[in-house]
């Protein structure tokens, strides 16, 4: 079967997880199983999420991620990085993950235009922006994990928003569709603003209204400030399916035939039998 490859960092890697995050009853991994079920017997959904990777590392291993056309045809490719690139420089612990903004943008462009990707005819590439970040949840998670030291803020809400903006701009520049996950989540949190440099974004320490709907919703999406709960993966799934419906209506699950015939398709089985003679 043709492949639907999910290429990203830990948020992609955990998209199939059946473990429930601390404080949550439901396993987080909704997106992966939902997508695999939607395309069942039509496309193989391949998880190539690599925890901790930034775009520099992703670009280096890309030839090992994308199969050559003679092995398998790639129909869809999602590129979902930035959460690690946006980590602040010189923060504990090593090794560092930060990638400067311009290099990040160049790396995503290089991934999308890599010869290994373009070797596939009509591969449908989707860029996904980094999600929002919830700083208080990240600090709380750090305290639980390592109570022996004062936690430090390795990522910020503003940095997440800034790297998301770079993905949006790149999509416009190279004419690729962008799943604007940052905005989709913020809208569901009733955030109406657009500014990202005032330190008052929902999820930031600068936003003192910790009981606001925006902060409450973001906290329900990001169990440790960064990684997704089931609810967040549901948003990702809804947004991805809506994008495919808009951009490629002929590639929705309903529009694609089964690769192998139904068990009760008598005419198809006559053809199959004849091909064996």
Q: How many domains does the chain have?
A: 1
Give the pLDDT confidence score for residue 205 in this predicted structure: 82
Q: Which domain holds residue 216?
A: 3-276
Give the pLDDT confidence score for residue 63 in this predicted structure: 97
Distance CA 211, CA 55 (A): 35
Does the reported pTM lie above 0.85? yes
DSSP result, 118-137: HTSTT-EEEEE------HHH
Find the helix or strand (DSSP H, E) in which 179 lies: strand 178-179
Of 173, 15, 171, 155, the closest CA to residue 99 belongs to 155
Give the pLDDT confidence score for residue 277 in this predicted structure: 55
Catalytic site residues? 10
Write out residues in the chain with pLDDT < 50, as ranges. Answer: none
Give the pLDDT confidence score for residue 80 in this predicted structure: 98
Give the pLDDT confidence score for residue 199 in this predicted structure: 60
**Could you tell me the CATH number of the domain that includes residue 246?**
3.40.50.1110
């Amino acid at each position: 079967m043709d492949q639907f490859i999910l290429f990203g960092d830990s948020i992609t890697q955990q998209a199939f997880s059946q473990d429930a995050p601390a404080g949550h009853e439901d396993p987080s991994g909704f997106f992966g199983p939902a997508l695999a079920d939607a395309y069942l017997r039509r496309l193989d959904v391949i998880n190539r999420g690599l925890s901790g990777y930034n775009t520099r590392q992703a670009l280096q291993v890309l030839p090992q991620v994308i199969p050559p056309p003679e092995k398998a045809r790639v129909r869809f490719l999602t590129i979902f990085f930035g959460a690690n690139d946006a980590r602040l420089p010189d923060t504990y612990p090593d090794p560092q993950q930060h990638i400067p903004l311009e290099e990040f943008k160049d790396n995503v462009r290089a991934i999308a235009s890599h010869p290994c990707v373009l070797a596939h005819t009509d591969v449908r590439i989707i860029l996904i922006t980094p999600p929002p970040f919830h700083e208080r949840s990240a600090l709380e998670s750090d305290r639980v994990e390592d109570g022996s030291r004062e936690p430090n803020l390795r990522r910020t809400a503003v940095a997440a928003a800034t790297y998301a903006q770079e993905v949006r701009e790149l999509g416009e520049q190279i004419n690729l569709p962008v799943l604007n996950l940052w905005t989709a989540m913020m809208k569901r949190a009733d955030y109406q603003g657009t500014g990202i440099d005032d330190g008052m974004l929902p999820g930031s320490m600068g936003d003192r209204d910790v009981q606001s709907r925006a902060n409450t919703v973001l906290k329900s999406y990001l169990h440790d400030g960064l990684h997704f709960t089931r609810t967040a993966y549901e948003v990702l799934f809804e947004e991805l399916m809506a994008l495919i419906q808009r951009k490629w209506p002929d590639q929705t699950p309903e529009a694609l035939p089964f690769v192998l015939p139904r068990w009760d398709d008598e005419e198809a089985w006559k053809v199959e039998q004849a091909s064996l003679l």
